[in-house]
Amino acid sequence: MTKPHRVLSLSTLYPNPANPRFGTFVARSLEALAARGDWEVTVISPIGLPPVIFGRYQALAQARSEGIEHGIAVYRPCYTLIPRFGGRFNPAAITRAVLPLVRRLHAERPFDLVDAQFFYPDGPAAAQIAAALNLPLSIKARGADISYWGKKPYALRKMLKAARQAGGLLAVSEALAHDMASIGFPHEKTTIHYTGLDRTLFHPRDKTVSREKLFQRFKLAVPSSVPLLATVGALIPRKGQYLVIHALSSLPDAHLLLAGTGEAEASLRTLAAEAGLSDRVHFLGSLDHETLPLVLSAADVMVLPSASEGLANAWVEALACGTPIVISDAGGAKELVRDDSAGQIVARDPQAIAEAVQTLLATHLPPQKVAENAAAFSWEANAAALATHYESLLRTR
């Protein structure tokens, strides 16, 4: 058997003991790559900690670890982070903290390629590491790294420099690749790399049974026959959960399940209370991948009116469960919602959201027909495309 190539993947987005659901899509992609056998994967997931450990950072400080996780060697060194103000310094801080470890690992068993799983701060840091080891570089863009950090001149300069060094770039959608090109990223280097999907978990299930299990698990007093909406994503303003709560006022019988946690949770609870909707808005918290399909299968519609996205995993997972989606025209939305069998793309407006939901509720789309829209997605396909991309960088070096 041919000796596998070795990739060093730098990823600030990766599950850790303090945040086990953080960046799970990165882990699934790299685990699928490792499972192929032609690439051996080592992940370095640096954890940022302030000089004085406080609040949520106390749990993160305990997350520093290393070991084999699902066939991947994972290292979690710490670097110094200045909360709220350290964005411009993070790539250099990560490099300083990580490079001694990388040099040791490379000396023991050389790597063939350096990879960054997020464009900022991962990309510029990975570029410095690749240059130090004289190795080819790949960087992946996922959405917020371009839409948020790309608007900050200091970050954009660092990202563009890293992009010029890289042998190839990845983007999670055609729309994101176009956005990257519009602010100076080399389009000729960019390959589209769609997300994956665990088909053993995400597939159409009996809706009545799913609702019974879900309501029992979360002790929800929800009538079994009411319209049920789900919104899956971090509770942050960009995801637009507040718009869905406003839309609920025009959907008198519907209930809303909010799956996720985040900084906007308190304001969303207040909004629901002020609108008299507390009994119809249900906060489920952070869900594991065994519970999430239950939520998506129980729902009639998954609604996610994000201000920006790459190509959201939640879109694909909902469709795979046979649940149509109502989403905003963000990122790769049009690459997924190609016709009415997948759902609707709407303005980020409560009334437009409500009208789209009403249309889908009245249409009664067959779950298997909806699921066909996600037929091309799997972690195996994702890993095969990633392996092809990496191999192309080795050939052209």
Query: Coil, strand, or helix at residue 210?
Result: helix
The Cα 68–Cα 56 span in angstroms is 26
Q: Give the pLDDT confidence of 308-318 residue by residue, as tens digits.
A: 999 999 999 99
- Taking phi over 0 as left and psi of -120 to 50 as alpha, with beta for the rest, 70 belongs to left
When pLDDT is averaged across residues 367-372 and rounded to a whole number, the result is: 97
Domain with CATH 3.40.50.2000 in the chain: 5-196+378-395, 207-374
379 versus 61: the higher-pLDDT residue is: 379
The answer for 373, left when phi > 0, alpha when psi is -120 to 50, beta otherwise, is alpha
Mean pLDDT of 340-356: 98
Average pLDDT over residues 308-337: 96
**Range with lowest mean pLDDT among 34-38, 52-56, 293-297:** 52-56
Instruction: Using the predicted structure, report yes or no on whether residue 396 has a pLDDT greater than 80.
Output: no
Q: What is the spatial distance between Cα 254 and Cα 273, in angstroms, rounded to a whole number?
A: 16
Residue of higher predicted confidence among 54 and 280: 280
What residue type is 222 in one-letter code? Answer: V
Residue 298, C-beta contacts closer than 8 angstroms, at least 6 positions apart? 207, 210, 211, 213, 214, 228, 230, 257
pLDDT over threshold 90, residue 1? no
Assigned CATH topology for domain 207-374: Rossmann fold (3.40.50)
Mean pLDDT, to the nearest integer, of 127-135? 98
Q: Reduced to 3 states, what is the DSSP secondary structure of residue 7?
A: strand
Of 374, 6, 388, the residue nearest 168 (C-alpha): 388
List beta partners, residue 40. 6
Nearest Cα residue to 217 out of 245, 244, 257: 257
Q: What does the pLDDT average to over 24-40?
A: 96
* CATH H-level, domain 5-196+378-395: superfamily: Glycogen Phosphorylase B; (3.40.50.2000)
Our CA angle for 44, 382, 303, nearest 5°, is 95
Calpha distance 27→94 (Å, rounded): 20
Q: How confident is the model at residue 397 (pLDDT cuts 50, 70, 90)?
A: low
Q: What is the pLDDT of residues 156-204, one digit of tens each?
A: 999 999 999 999 999 999 999 999 999 999 999 999 999 999 999 999 9
